[in-house]
Structure 1
Amino acid sequence: MGVSASTSVSVTLQTRLGNIELDLNALCKRGDYDNTHFFRITTEGVFIIQGGDPTNTGEGGKSFDGDVFEDENLAGSQYSSGTVAMANSGKDTNGSQFFIVYKDSQLPPAYTVFGHVASGLGIIQQVSSAGTADGSSDGKPRDQFIINKCIAK
């Protein structure tokens, strides 16, 4: 994408449970994430909630422009609580999907970190504490969790 790691934008994810404030190292288009679901949560080993799929199924992987893009800045990546990173299905397959780490997690440096939760992490932890819809450790959140509106400031 060619976006400088020093470029920063504040983003508010408005949800029914409250606002989640993110400090991101890249710009997102206004409205792209409106009415999209967090469709996946993991509750063992890796502690993430994943969203950003325009199809709301977890199957849509391309960006909102229809492209995928390369991994960036992977060296030394760490995934502590509050990290915001690109989700992917392998090397250089980044698109619109992203995840938020809600508890320190050991992941390989294969996911581009592009921001951090500035406030609202407790909301994500509240959703995660309810677990998955089917009781497994990786699946759809028990409580539907939707980004009603994404506001870049």
Structure 2
Amino acid sequence: MRLLLALVLAVVMGGGVAQASDDAATTARDPDVTKGPCAYAKTPDDPPARPVKLPPDPRRTPAKGKVDVVLKTNQGPIPLVVDRAQAPCTVQSFLHLVTKKFYDRTTCHRLTAYPTLKVLQCGDPTGTGERGPGYKYKDELPTDLKPAPNDPTGERRIYPRGTLAMANAGPDTNGSQFFLVTSDSTLRPHYTVFGTVEPAGLATLDRIAAAGIAPTPDNPTPVDGRPATPVDISRAKRTC
């Protein structure tokens, strides 16, 4: 399954590494769908990039409070703040994957530099943009984004610089891939927003964006592709 940020072109794939987790022995005993309100559902046709259990799904999903997370990368730290009130099921899943080390030793596979879409996309341990955690869950779409100016359709919204949001392959297909908005971007509001990038993280993102996108023989000046300077997450961890 390829996860898209639908604008003009499909996602461009990059390289990466895969590693098994210590959940391999217990994954087979997971239910196909969790019983709580988030209803995390296994995706048999899309096996996990790394074996991981389904997230916890209590009867009452925590919907208050913020949690600090840092992505430790070879380009510098990217501290994040995830907000349960914005997207409780998404935050619950993201923190589960952080705890299970799903994001450790992974590569951010996509950087875009379109006039209306500037993001860094991460979260696939294979580094291809096609894989995830082996489960999916519902959208928790934003309702408070400002309309994009000069949009004749009236459908597009501004995802502000510093937004942390989920990538997806269509409605209710959230998994593990996420994107970090490096500059204000214009998208239909089809992508769950679940947090923000702290100022120190924005400084790291600016360095990554300034280095540009890796050229290919067929496209010497790409606006979508692998970062020219590889962005490797050595560890993702909660800091509070």
Identity %: 40
Pick aligned residue for 1:16 from 51, 71, 74 = 74
Aligned residues of 2:141 and 2:190 also touching (Cα < 8 A) = no
Q: Hey, what's the Cα distance between the residues in 1 that align with 2:173 and 2:227?
A: 24
The TM-score, its normalising length taken from structure 1, stands at 0.90
Q: Which runs of 5 or more structure 1 residues have no equivalent in the other structure?
A: none
**Which residue is equivalent to 1:133?**
214
Q: Hey, what's the Cα distance between the residues in 1 that align with 2:209 and 2:81?
A: 21
Q: Hey, what's the Cα distance between the residues in 2 that align with 1:87 and 1:110?
A: 9
Q: Which runs of 5 or more structure 2 residues have no equivalent in the other structure?
A: 1-37, 39-56, 84-90, 146-157, 216-220
Mapping of residues 61-72 of structure 1, within 5 Å: 62=132, 64=133, 66-72=134-140
1:106 aligned counterpart, secondary structure: strand
Q: CA deviation at 1:74?
A: 2.8
Q: CA deviation at 1:6?
A: 2.8
Bigger drift between 96-105 and 128-137 goes to 128-137
Looking at secondary structure, tell me which structure has more strand per residue: 1
1:10 aligned counterpart, secondary structure: strand
The TM-score, its normalising length taken from structure 2, stands at 0.59
2:159 aligned counterpart, secondary structure: coil
Q: CA deviation at 1:139?
A: 0.7
Q: How many residues of Structure 1 are paired with residues of Structure 2 in the alignment?
A: 150
Q: Hey, what's the Cα distance between the residues in 1 that align with 2:165 and 2:138?
A: 13
Point out the structure with max Rg over C-alpha. 2
1:120 aligned counterpart, secondary structure: helix
Q: Hey, what's the Cα distance between the residues in 2 that align with 1:40 and 1:129?
A: 14
**Which residue is equivalent to 2:144?**
76
The answer to which structure, 1 or 2, has the higher relative contact order (CA under 8 A, 6+ apart) is: 1
Q: Hey, what's the Cα distance between the residues in 1 that align with 2:75 and 2:161?
A: 19
